[in-house]
C-alpha cells in the first residue's frame, strides 16, 4: 500500500485524487493547496484530510507525493519532497527553466527516491500498442512521424499566463511523444506560432494559441507536430508513424462507436471532449507504473532526465518561433 499526499486541488489534481481513491494499492492521506478550502473540498469526500506542506512532508506514513499544483511550484515541491525521502510523481513540466530541472535531478539522485514525470500519453493503450509495433519493426525504418494535438477550447486565460506558454505547457506532450516514437533525440526544431483563435490569448494570456513545428533527428528522421487551442469538434489526438515497410496510425477515440446513416450523410460521434475523458486509461496506467516502481523500489518509467530533454526542445521551439529560423540543439 502506497500512502500519498497530493499537492494541488485543481483540474488535474482532482482527476488524480479520484483515480487514487479507486485503487486498492494506494491511499490518499492528505491534500495540500495554497487555497486550503479547495484542498478540504477535494480531500474530505475521499476520506483524506487537508494539510499544510509541512504536515504532509513531515508525516512518515506518507510514502509518496503527487505534485499536481501550478507549474511554477513543481520543482521546489519536488526538491522538498526528495529531501523528506518521499517518492515523487510530478505533473509535467518539472519546471520552465533548465537550472531548476537540473536542481531537481540532483536532489532526487542524492535522496535516492524515484521521481516520475506525468507524460501520460505514453500510457494510452492505443499509443502504447502503436509504439510496441514500431519497436517490433512493423513500419520498418521510421522516416516520418505526424502528431496532431488540438485542444477543444481555450483554458482559463489566467491559467495561460502561469503555464509557461503553448510550447512548454501543451506541445511538451508532443515533444515527449516525438522522442519516444522516433527513438532518437531531435537535433533541429523549426516552429511557427500565432494567435488565430482569440486575441485575448496575446493580450491577457501573453501566449500563442496555434503552432506548427518540424523536428529532425541526427539520422534524418522527421516529425511534424500541429497544435491549436480550439478544435470545435473535440479533443483531437492522432498519431501517424510512417516508414520503409508501411504506416501505423492511431485515430481519435469517441464515446461510442454508433454511426447514423441517413439519405444525405453518415454521422458518428465527435472525439472525446477533453483530456480528462480521452486519457482516463492513460492516467490510471501511469499511476499503476509509478506505484509499481515505489513498491518494487525500481527506477521510475519516465524519470526527470526525460523532462530535461523535452525542455531543450521547448526552448528551441520558442526561440525558432521568435526568430523565424530553425534552431539546432546540442544534446
Ligand X SMILES: NC(=O)c1ccc[n+]([C@@H]2O[C@H](COP(=O)([O-])OP(=O)(O)OC[C@H]3O[C@@H](n4cnc5c(N)ncnc54)[C@H](O)[C@@H]3O)[C@@H](O)[C@H]2O)c1
Q: Yes or no: say if 181 and 228 are a contact pair by the CB < 8 Å rule.
A: no
Residues 248-277 that bind ligand X (CB under 6 A): 275
Binding footprint of ligand X, residue count (CB under 6 A): 24
Sequence-distant (≥ 6) Cβ neighbours of residue 146 within 8 angstroms: 223, 224, 238, 239, 240, 242
State which of residues 95, 124, 151, 169 lies at the interface with ligand X (CB under 6 A).
169
Residue 118 interacts with ligand X (CB under 6 A): yes or no: yes
CB of 70 to ligand X, least distance (A): 4
Which is it for the CA torsion 28, 34, 38, 40, positive or negative? positive
Q: Which stretch binds ligand X (CB under 6 A): 62-70, 191-199, 238-246, 305-313?
A: 62-70
Q: b/e per residue, 232-245, with b = 16+ CB within 10 A? A: eebbbbbbbbbbee
CB of 29 to ligand X, least distance (A): 15
Contact flags string 73-112 toward ligand X, x per CB under 6 A: x-----------------xx--------------------
Output the residue with the shortest Cβ distance to ligand X: 10
Residue 126 interacts with ligand X (CB under 6 A): yes or no: no
Residue closest to 314 by CA, chosen among 139, 179, 219: 179
Q: Yes or no: say if 213 and 317 are a contact pair by the CB < 8 Å rule.
A: yes
CB of 81 to ligand X, least distance (A): 11
Q: Using DSSP bridges, classify how beta strands 327-328 and 236-243 pair: parallel, antiparallel or unpaired.
A: unpaired
Residue 56 interacts with ligand X (CB under 6 A): yes or no: no
Residue 78 or 320: the one with the smaller Cβ distance to ligand X is 78
Query: Which single residue is written with the C-alpha cell 492513460?
Result: 282
State which of residues 13, 165, 193, 243 lies at the interface with ligand X (CB under 6 A).
13
* 3-state SS class at 49: strand
Q: Which residues bind ligand X (CB under 6 A)?
A: 7-13, 32-35, 38, 68-71, 73, 91-92, 118, 120, 159, 169, 275
Amino acid at each position: 500500500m502506497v500512502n500519498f499526499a497530493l499537492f494541488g486541488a485543481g483540474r488535474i489534481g482532482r482527476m488524480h485524487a479520484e483515480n487514487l481513491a479507486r485503487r486498492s494499492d494506494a491511499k490518499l492521506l492528505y491534500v495540500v493547496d495554497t487555497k486550503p478550502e479547495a484542498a478540504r473540498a477535494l480531500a474530505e469526500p475521499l476520506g483524506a484530510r487537508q494539510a499544510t506542506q509541512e504536515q504532509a512532508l513531515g508525516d512518515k506514513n506518507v510514502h509518496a507525493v503527487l505534485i499536481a499544483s501550478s507549474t511554477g511550484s513543481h520543482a521546489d515541491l519536488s526538491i522538498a519532497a526528495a529531501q523528506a525521502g518521499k517518492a515523487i510523481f510530478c505533473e509535467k513540466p518539472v519546471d520552465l527553466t533548465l537550472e531548476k530541472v537540473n536542481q531537481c535531478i540532483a536532489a532526487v539522485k542524492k535522496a535516492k527516491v524515484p521521481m516520475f514525470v506525468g507524460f501520460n500519453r505514453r500510457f494510452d493503450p492505443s499509443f502504447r500498442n502503436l509504439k510496441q509495433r514500431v519497436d517490433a519493426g512493423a513500419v520498418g525504418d521510421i522516416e516520418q512521424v505526424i502528431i496532431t494535438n488540438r485542444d477543444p477550447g481555450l483554458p482559463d486565460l489566467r491559467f495561460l499566463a502561469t503555464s509557461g506558454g503553448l510550447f512548454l505547457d501543451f506541445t511538451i506532450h508532443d515533444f515527449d511523444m516525438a522522442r519516444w516514437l522516433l527513438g532518437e533525440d531531435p537535433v533541429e526544431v523549426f516552429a511557427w506560432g500565432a494567435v488565430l483563435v482569440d486575441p485575448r490569448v496575446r493580450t491577457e494570456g501573453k501566449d500563442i494559441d496555434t503552432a506548427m513545428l518540424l523536428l529532425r533527428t541526427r539520422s534524418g528522421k522527421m516529425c511534424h507536430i500541429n497544435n491549436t487551442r480550439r478544435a470545435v469538434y473535440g479533443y483531437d489526438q492522432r498519431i501517424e508513424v510512417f516508414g520503409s515497410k508501411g504506416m501505423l496510425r492511431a485515430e481519435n477515440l469517441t464515446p461510442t462507436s454508433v454511426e447514423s446513416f441517413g439519405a444525405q450523410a453518415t454521422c458518428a460521434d465527435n472525439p472525446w471532449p477533453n483530456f480528462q475523458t480521452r486519457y482516463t486509461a492513460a492516467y490510471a496506467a501511469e499511476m499503476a507504473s509509478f506505484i509499481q516502481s515505489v513498491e518494487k523500489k525500481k527506477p521510475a518509467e519516465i524519470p526527470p532526465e526525460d523532462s530535461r530533454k523535452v525542455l531543450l526542445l521547448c526552448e528551441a521551439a520558442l526561440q525558432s518561433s521568435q526568430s523565424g529560423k530553425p534552431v539546432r540543439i546540442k544534446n
